[in-house]
Amino acid sequence: MEKITYDFKNRTAVVTGGAQGFGLDISKRFLKSGAKVIIWDNDPKALELAVKNLNNENLSSRVIDVANFEEVSRNVKEILNNSNIDILINNAGITGPTATLWEYDIEVWKKVVEINLMGTFNCCRSIVPSMIKNNYGRIVNVASVAGKDGNANASAYSAGKAGTIALTKSLGKELADKNIAVNAVTPAGAKTRILDQMTKEHVQKMLSKVPRGRFLEVEEFTSLICWLSSEENTFSTAAVFDISGGRSTY
């Protein structure tokens, strides 16, 4: 199937967790559509490899820990010295271990929520003021079907993604009188490296809940992200777009 082409010329996008999985494919598609892309990731080796493979003059990268507000804020200011930030894709996230809540390591629980929820807040908090100034912006927060349903033995991940959904709805309403769209997407399991962090039993349980009978393909996810990030999306905001293969019941 031929992919729809979007016009992202003269647009600059920041993609967090952009060195692999969803983020890498989103960055690739944005670049092909004419955007300047800045990928953030906390894995230097993966970032180096991604830049090498994408090999595009409109691509730049930074090693960033999105859970560190000062680091995020400082880098945003540096970017804004030379460019606008028109698109923000909050994709960085970790699943954490598979464990019951009462056995979950407290510090690890905090880390999962810090990256998945506070990381999204930190990026929005740092970038939104410039979007307000320019009266333009497209923000897509990558949540998860786990944030809707709550996955057993994944309380930290589920809670962090549920918080991301609520954050999206709040921020979208706060910016609704401006040309800034803020939306969330809730994928089910996808064929990315994040599955490697889970046990085989947990992965199979996830798959059994999907009526389509397969995992999400990365390219399918990217297509939804592109539309939400485009100028064509002039009305949808503070919304949650499901891409779970029929798993979600609401």
- Exactly one of 6, 104, 157, 250 is catalytic; which is it? 157
For 21, phi then psi, to 5°, come to: 55, -135
Cα–Cα distance, 59 to 5 (Å, whole number): 19
If we measure between CA atoms, which residue out of 157, 175, 192 comes closest to residue 239? Answer: 175
Indicate if 250 belongs to the active site: no
Contact predicate 223/3, CB 8 Å: yes
Q: What angle do CA 143, 45, 88 make, to 5 degrees?
A: 35
Which residues share a beta bridge with 243?
187
User: What would you report as the CA-atom Rg of the chain, rounded to the nearest whole angstrom?
Assistant: 17
- What per-residue string of b and e applies to 75-105 under the rule 16 or more CB within 10 Å gives b? bbeebbeeebbbbbbbbbbbbbbbeeeeebe
User: Where in the sequence numbering do the catalytic residues fall?
Assistant: 157
